[in-house]
Amino acid sequence: MSKMLNVRELFPEGQLRFIAGPCAVESEEQIDAAASFLSSRGVKILRGGAYKPRTSPESFQGLAEKGLKILRKAADQYNMLVVTEVMDEENLELVGEYTDIFQIGSRNCQNFSLLRAVGKLDRPVLIKRGFGNTVEEFYQASRYISKEGNDQIIMVERGIRTFEDSTRFTLDISAVPVLKEKVKYPVLVDPSHPAGKREYVPSLTYAAVGAGADGIMIEVHPEPERAMSDARQQVDFKTFEKIYGQAMKIREAMS
């Protein structure tokens, strides 16, 4: 389906690119609306979870293969790439039939078996920092992938566990310059998970751009308040548009 992508072409040095889409794939309508809107605004990579790692086994766990199909269809229609989470080696082949970029979620940042497995594939891997991991551990996790031969890696800071409780996680903005000293890969920031509330997403996005992030991975939903997961932190189209425009202006001011 997809030729080998180069992550540095997706996220060129000195520029700013967005990965956007809903937290979870919920329906064909939802993803079509998101992809239609986002692609029209210049977003080239569509995110959306078909397998959702949820704290409780009773929470919505995702649409599985049905979700993958929905993502693929929308991405093809709107000429986008898909990034979606793979939670285990068993599903690697199945997810690989639909996605362009494999996502390793925060809870699997030190799932070394899974890291080795995606390291053997010729497909980019987006890895999110474990919320209990140091930057050094995050870096070493990326080395489990590259050691197997795959150095098409995208690293995403998404907040860590601290005592502060006015946000869901504490965005470790310093991780951006620290990572950039260690790796040549694109370093992105996910402002949605640390914010926990959509009110804070714009500020965290702009902070990430200021810190030098190569990209932003953001949760956007056609109707955030109806979302089946992370409803409080997803932004609507209008808000995304404002964030996108402002972020690009800041990026330009930095050149």
Applying CB under 8 A, which residues contact its own copies? 53-57, 87-91, 107-108, 110-114, 130-137, 140, 143-144, 147, 160-167, 170-178, 181, 194-195, 199-200, 203-212, 246, 249-250, 252-254
Shortest CB 15 distance to its own copies, Å: 15
Shortest CB 132 distance to its own copies, Å: 1
137-175 b/e with 16+ CB inside 10 Å = b? ebbbbbebbbeeebbbbbbbbbbbeeeeeebbbbbbbeb
Shortest CB 7 distance to its own copies, Å: 20
114-129 b/e with 16+ CB inside 10 Å = b? bbebbbebebbbbbbb
217 to each of 106, 120, 147, 181, how far by Cα in Å?
Answer: 14, 25, 25, 21
Indicate the residue among 36 and 246 with the shorter CB distance to its own copies: 246
Shortest CB 242 distance to its own copies, Å: 12
- The closest of 244, 113, 150 to 191, measured between CA atoms, is 244
Q: What is the dihedral of CA 84, 132, 194, 113, to 10 degrees?
A: 0
Indicate the residue among 36 and 170 with the shorter CB distance to its own copies: 170
Q: Residue 164 corresponds to which tokens in the numbers above? A: 């502060």
Indicate the residue among 144 and 237 with the shorter CB distance to its own copies: 144
Indicate the residue among 40 and 174 with the shorter CB distance to its own copies: 174
Indicate the residue among 34 and 135 with the shorter CB distance to its own copies: 135
Cα(47)–Cα(25) distance, integer angstroms: 9
Indicate the residue among 147 and 184 with the shorter CB distance to its own copies: 147
Shortest CB 216 distance to its own copies, Å: 11
- The closest of 8, 19, 15, 16 to 190, measured between CA atoms, is 19
Q: For residue 77, give every residue at least 6 positions away whose Cβ sits within 8 Å of its Cβ, in sequence order, or none.
A: 32, 35
Shortest CB 37 distance to its own copies, Å: 24
